[in-house]
Structure 1
């Protein structure tokens, strides 16, 4: 592994002096994943993706094969969408998974490998790649593109022989948001992918409600991250126009921090004192952006399993129930499960059923292509 204080040349942003097609592999290398049970071969990838505004951008991720001697045909691909890791620094999942077991979600990934699935883990736009940050945290369109384009890249790896392999997606919290947005965007952005279904827990379906609730509290670092990530995803809008000089300096420091550092540095910190107004989320620009980031406006064309902890104080269960109700009005093939758990507890409690649901979805034949739904306005 590269020393954490140095820049890994593999993750340097390549000069895009051409327009690569989404999912095109720009760089790849084989890596070991010593801390991941059930893993066989793995590759870190730099691949072409698109921002929410459809501008070309390199992205990074990792593809891991299962350590199973014989598989009948190509392995299904699980698109595993990780929880928020941070805005910058060496915290990208593709880097941690190739380290010495410092990735916190190895247990969930190992469960999928034990099923015989290949697992593809996107870092997310702006994370991992040098010079492209900060991470586009909470930007649904950007997250969906990173997920779907990694699926394209994984199916193009010659070692996998998986050009026609079916895919499923799974994530929790912001990872659940990425999985849901991938399902919503799939028919218009990547209709050639054989996506069979999605499992998503504690989905951050309404960032406006979440950010307003956590600002100034123990999770306030995530509100800071939301301001930074969404302003990065909407470069055509003056999203930081409300910041004072002190606010700009604070944001410059914060956009290089990982999740743990953000939560520690900004615990119980409100954004108001760094802004020209005390309620920055009610500024017209921010109201526009946050309304544009609401999930449930478009119906996924694949089955969806949602789950949530009743005692979740970070992402309230009411948010998950509302998303379930929205999808039900759209006629989505749905299932729902509540657990008497906290935010962290429900991630563990819901994992077994999530994987079982995904396994069932993989047994279904792909749905016949129907009319393409309208694309939502995305970042």
Structure 2
């Protein structure tokens, strides 16, 4: 299974990075966030409340999947006021999609797996036609999952949950941005038509599971006024040090390098530590991750060892007091926060990137503290396969929550050969694939019988 994942990543990298993917006039290409003034916080924004809109622009006809434009009724981007991990004000961008024949009472907050320490990999940019090729695997492809919600008539918001500093795997900052993006979306009725008291569900996989999970567990204390009725997340990054230990030195070392740099973007003490213990002739390579997106960073760092950068192995690095403290702060297991909304977990037991044991531990931790969780364990899937195999069941579960159906009380774990072949999985995948196909055929996005 690991070989399959490596081959898929390699093929995709050579396809998308070997040639331009869309023949656009250079003057029509989207502006990168690092160069786009829309992303800059205006003077005095600090006095605004979390979730307030600082800036707005309409983005119709500029979004798509690969070279295919999406036919969505309206797309809006908002620069919003939020907070970092320390409660300091930041400005982050979020993108709101309104389908044709929208149901103004339903909102999906979809957290894409950005997996990079570079603001130029942000979903708000990466989803645009003509964005750099190395952003495609995450945001543009993941849009096809969000299309299922749009075709149900749901509004969809996709936040730049790593914020202006690109703080990959920084929990509280991600939670703040997701929740404030929902606040901003629900307050945008005069622009988007959504109702301010709409029901909300959260969804994310892999890197998106991290942001979704932190938003779910911070909801009761940070944004309890939001009517979030459930959260579905899979390939769960429950323990970042566990994920780092599994991957550093292997094919997916790039994930770890992006994570360390993302944490250093938020914690100056970690950045200082890297300067102190890192080999001076390797610091530039170490920090190169801050200039890369997922597709580029994986082959660049593949099979690099910790000992190439510092005088020690990965156990030495992960047990340094500064590193240990920061990773513990940003680990969901044992966190001081606890979700009070229903949760849906899905995980491949054979996940070669994110250990299933972390999801098991998170499930046990939350259940012992009174959470309501439906956990679907896939006995055969690895990481990429489960992103698709588990999506159908997750989608059907979210649909039930938004339709007002009661969820499972307490905790329930279900193990099957594949999450794709359960009744819920099959029917949900049918809707996910139908939405993706209609999008690729450039059909108007919205409830099928009303749009076509």
TM-score range (shorter-chain normalised) is 0.7 to 0.9
Shift of residue 251, structure 1, vs aligned partner: 3.5
TM-score calculated relative to the size of structure 2: 0.74
Q: Is 1:246–2:281 an aligned residue pair?
A: yes
CA contact (8 A) 1:210 1:315 kept: yes
Shift of residue 8, structure 1, vs aligned partner: 2.5
Aligned Cα root-mean-square deviation (Å) = 2.3
Shift of residue 10, structure 1, vs aligned partner: 1.9
Secondary structure in 1 aligned to 2:148?
helix
Q: Is 1:356–2:396 an aligned residue pair?
A: yes
Deviations 1:220-275 (A, max 9, x none): 01111111111222235644343232343224322111111111110111233322
Aligned length: 358
After the TM superposition, which of the residue ranges 329-338 and 16-25 deviates more from structure 2? 16-25
1:253–1:366 distance in 2 versus 1, CA, 3 Å: same
CA contact (8 A) 1:61 1:94 kept: yes
Task: Identify which of 178, 185, 205 aligns with 1:172.
Answer: 205
Question: Counterparts of 2:118 and 2:328 in 1: how far apart (Å)?
Answer: 26
Task: Identify which of 96, 120, 143 aligns with 1:90.
Answer: 120
Q: How do residues 69-218 of structure 1 correspond to structure 2 at under 5 angstroms?
A: 71=103, 74-88=104-118, 90-99=120-129, 102=136, 103-126=140-163, 132-133=164-165, 135-157=166-188, 158-159=190-191, 160-218=193-251
Which position in structure 2 is the counterpart of 1:28?
Answer: 56
Question: Counterparts of 2:195 and 2:402 in 1: how far apart (Å)?
Answer: 15
Which position in structure 2 is the counterpart of 1:375?
Answer: none
After the TM superposition, which of the residue ranges 153-162 and 247-256 deviates more from structure 2? 247-256
Task: Identify which of 359, 362, 370 aligns with 1:331.
Answer: 370
Question: Counterparts of 2:377 and 2:99 in 1: how far apart (Å)?
Answer: 30
Shift of residue 118, structure 1, vs aligned partner: 0.6
CA contact (8 A) 1:34 1:100 kept: no
1:316–1:149 distance in 2 versus 1, CA, 3 Å: same
Q: Is 1:318–2:357 an aligned residue pair?
A: yes
Which position in structure 1 is the counterpart of 2:450?
Answer: none
Q: Is 1:341–2:381 an aligned residue pair?
A: yes
CA contact (8 A) 2:353 2:383 kept: yes
CA contact (8 A) 1:199 1:306 kept: yes
CA contact (8 A) 1:27 1:46 kept: yes
Question: Counterparts of 2:295 and 2:64 in 1: how far apart (Å)?
Answer: 24
Task: Identify which of 48, 62, 69 aligns with 2:81.
Answer: 48
Question: Counterparts of 1:239 and 1:139 in 2: how far apart (Å)?
Answer: 18
Which position in structure 2 is the counterpart of 1:291?
Answer: 328
1:235–1:190 distance in 2 versus 1, CA, 3 Å: farther
Secondary structure in 2 aligned to 1:90?
helix
Question: Counterparts of 2:308 and 2:40 in 1: how far apart (Å)?
Answer: 36
Question: Counterparts of 2:53 and 2:282 in 1: how far apart (Å)?
Answer: 38
Q: Is 1:309–2:345 an aligned residue pair?
A: no
Secondary structure in 1 aligned to 2:184?
helix
CA contact (8 A) 1:199 1:304 kept: yes
1:338–1:18 distance in 2 versus 1, CA, 3 Å: closer
1:256–1:316 distance in 2 versus 1, CA, 3 Å: same
The structure carrying a bigger helix percent of its residues is 2
Task: Identify which of 228, 233, 257 aligns with 2:292.
Answer: 257
Secondary structure in 2 aligned to 1:116?
coil
Shift of residue 190, structure 1, vs aligned partner: 0.8
Which position in structure 1 is the counterpart of 2:262?
Answer: 229
Shift of residue 166, structure 1, vs aligned partner: 1.4
Shift of residue 330, structure 1, vs aligned partner: 1.4
1:185–1:17 distance in 2 versus 1, CA, 3 Å: closer
Question: Counterparts of 1:17 and 1:112 in 2: how far apart (Å)?
Answer: 32
Question: Counterparts of 1:207 and 1:7 in 2: how far apart (Å)?
Answer: 31
Shift of residue 4, structure 1, vs aligned partner: 5.3
CA contact (8 A) 1:171 1:179 kept: yes
TM-score calculated relative to the size of structure 1: 0.88
Shift of residue 334, structure 1, vs aligned partner: 0.9
